C-alpha cells in the first residue's frame, strides 16, 4: 500500500477526498496537515476533526499548520462566510488536533521516510503554504517525498478564482511557485481535469441514501454548499476537485496527462496563473505530469464504491 499525508483546507471537496482516502485499504494515511484556505485555519481544523470522527478514524492524527499565505494578503474560498461545518450538517466531535505544528510534522515524517528509504506521497488539496514552508526550512525533506499530487492550477480551462487563476494557487502563489519549482515529482490535477467529472443532484442523493453516516454528511455538505452548480458546465453537475487526487492514487488509469515543467506567476493581476513548459523552454526539468482528462463515469463509480464501504460499518 501507499503511505500518504493529506495537506488540506476542508472544504467540501476536501471532505470528499479525505473520506475517499480513509475508505481505501490501498492507502495508509499517516496524518492530515491542515492549512487556512477555503475558510480560516480554526475552521479548517475543526472541519478536519469532524471528518475524522465521521469515519471513525480518531487514530489518524491532525496537525494545524499555516493560517495564511507566505506573502500575499489572505483570500478565502467562495463559502468563507459560512465558516466551519455546522453541527446540523456534520455532527460535533471531541477530536482535537495534535500539539505539533503541521510543518514540523511534514518535516519530521518526510525526513524519517528518506532515512528508511521509503518516500511518501503528499496529496496537496489546499493552498501550498505548509509544504512550501517545509521545503524552504529543510530542503532535504524533498528526498522523503515520492511525489506530490496537487489539486491546483488551470491550463486550458479558464481559472475560476480570477480569469487567470485557480483558488489553491491564487491563495498562495509564492508557496505554489516554491513547490512547483522544487524538482519534486508532481502530479497536477488542474481545473481542466476536475471540470470534467461532475456530480449531479441524483448522484448526491445516491450518496445520501446508500453510504452510512459519512455518506449522509457528505451529501448534506454537497447539497448545502450547492456543488451541483446546474448549468455552469453546459450540463447538470458540479466538480469535486480534490477527490480526483485520491482517485488518481487508487486508479491512475482513469486519468490522462502529459509531462511538463510548470511554474506560477506570483505577482500582479495575473498572480496565480500556472504555466506549462512542454517544450523545454525554461530551465526547469519536466518532472510534472499535468492531467488533462479523466474518465468521468470511472471516477464516479470509484467514489460510490468506496463511500459504500462506510455503509457496512
Ligand atoms: C480548490 O479550491 C478549493 O475551494 C477547493 O477545496 C479545491 O481545493 C478548487 O479550486
Ligand atoms: Ca481544498
Considering the entire predicted model, what is its pTM?
0.97
Averaged over 104-112, what is the pLDDT? 98
pLDDT at 275: 95
Q: To test ligand 1's pocket by mutation, which of 80, 125, 241, 245 has the most ligand atoms within 8 angstroms of CB?
A: 241
Q: What is the DSSP letter of 159?
A: P
pLDDT at 240: 94
State the maximum Cα–Cα separation within the chain, in Å, rounded to a whole number: 52
pLDDT tens digits, one per residue of 133-164:
999 999 999 999 999 999 999 998 777 889 99
CA of 117 to the centre of ligand 1 (A): 32
pLDDT at 236: 86
Q: What is d(CA 252, CA 254) in angstroms, rounded to the nearest whole number?
A: 5
What would the DSSP string read from start to end of 183-252?
Answer: ---EEEE-HHHHTTSEE-HHHHHHHHHHSHHHHHHHHHHHHHTTTT-TTTTSSS-EE-TTHHHHHHHH-G
Strands 145-151, 120-124: pairing is parallel
Averaged over 190-211, what is the pLDDT? 91
Q: What is the ipTM of this complex?
A: 0.99
Does 70 contact ligand 1 (Cβ within 6 A)?
no
pLDDT tens digits, one per residue of 164-185:
999 999 999 999 999 999 999 9
- By the CB criterion, residues less than 5 angstroms from ion ligand 2 are 9, 11, 14, 125-126, 242
Binned at pLDDT 50, 70 and 90, residue 313 comes out as low
pLDDT at 158: 72
pLDDT at 235: 86
Q: Is the pLDDT of residue 310 over 90?
A: no
pLDDT at 118: 97
Atom of ligand 1 nearest to the CA of 166: 10
pLDDT tens digits, one per residue of 27-73:
999 999 999 999 999 999 999 999 999 998 999 999 999 999 999 99
CA of 51 to the centre of ligand 1 (A): 17
Does 168 contact ligand 1 (Cβ within 6 A)?
yes
pLDDT tens digits, one per residue of 210-234:
778 898 899 989 988 765 655 678 8
Catalytic (active site) residue 81: no
- Are 123 and 62 within 8 A, CB to CB? no
Burial of 308 (0-12, 13-18, 19+ CB in 10 A): middle
Q: What is d(CA 296, CA 303) in angstroms, rounded to the nearest whole number?
A: 11
Atom of ligand 1 nearest to the CA of 10: 6
Q: Which ligand is nearest to the CA of 166?
A: 1
pLDDT at 231: 66
Does 11 contact ligand 1 (Cβ within 6 A)?
yes
Q: To test ligand 1's pocket by mutation, which of 168, 232, 239 has the most ligand atoms within 8 angstroms of CB?
A: 168
Does 172 contact ligand 1 (Cβ within 6 A)?
no
Q: Is the pLDDT of residue 202 over 60?
A: yes
Catalytic residue among 160, 174, 241, 292: 241
Q: Which ligand is nearest to the CA of 239?
A: 1
State percent of the chain over pLDDT 90: 82
CA of 116 to the centre of ligand 1 (A): 33
Amino acid at each position: 500500500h501507499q503511505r500518504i499525508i493529506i495537506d488540506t483546507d476542508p472544504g467540501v471537496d476536501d471532505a470528499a477526498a479525505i473520506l475517499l482516502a480513509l475508505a481505501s485499504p490501498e492507502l495508509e494515511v499517516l496524518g492530515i496537515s491542515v492549512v487556512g484556505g477555503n475558510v480560516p485555519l480554526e475552521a479548517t481544523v475543526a472541519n478536519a476533526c469532524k471528518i475524522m470522527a465521521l469515519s471513525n478514524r480518531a487514530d489518524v492524527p491532525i496537525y494545524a499548520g499555516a493560517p495564511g499565505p507566505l506573502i500575499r494578503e489572505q483570500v478565502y474560498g467562495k463559502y468563507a462566510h459560512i465558516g466551519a461545518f455546522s453541527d446540523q450538517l456534520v455532527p460535533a466531535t471531541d477530536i482535537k488536533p495534535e500539539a505539533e505544528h503541521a510543518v514540523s510534522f511534514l518535516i519530521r515524517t518526510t525526513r524519517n521516510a528518506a532515512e528508511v528509504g521509503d518516500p511518501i506521497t503528499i496529496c496537496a488539496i489546499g493552498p501550498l503554504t505548509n509544504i512550501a514552508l517545509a521545503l524552504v526550512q529543510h530542503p532535504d525533506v524533498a528526498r522523503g517525498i515520492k511525489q506530490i499530487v496537487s489539486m491546483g492550477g488551470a491550463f486550458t480551462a479558464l481559472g475560476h478564482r480570477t480569469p487567470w487563476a485557480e483558488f489553491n494557487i491564487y491563495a498562495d502563489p509564492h508557496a505554489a511557485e516554491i513547490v512547483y519549482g522544487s524538482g519534486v515529482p508532481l502530479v497536477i490535477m488542474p481545473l481542466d481535469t476536475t471540470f470534467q467529472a461532475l456530480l449531479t443532484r441524483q448522484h448526491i442523493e445516491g450518496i445520501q441514501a446508500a453510504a452510512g453516516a459519512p455518506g449522509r454528511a457528505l451529501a448534506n455538505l454537497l447539497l448545502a454548499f450547492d456543488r451541483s452548480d446546474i448549468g455552469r458546465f453546459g450540463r447538470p453537475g458540479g466538480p469535486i476537485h480534490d477527490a480526483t487526487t485520491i482517485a488518481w492514487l487508487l486508479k491512475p488509469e482513469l486519468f490522462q496527462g502529459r509531462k511538463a515543467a510548470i511554474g506560477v506567476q506570483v505577482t500582479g493581476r495575473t498572480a496565480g496563473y500556472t504555466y506549462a513548459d512542454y517544450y523545454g523552454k525554461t530551465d526547469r526539468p519536466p518532472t510534472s505530469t499535468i492531467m488533462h482528462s479523466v474518465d468521468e463515469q470511472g471516477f464516479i463509480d470509484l467514489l460510490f464504491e468506496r463511500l459504500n464501504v462506510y455503509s457496512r460499518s
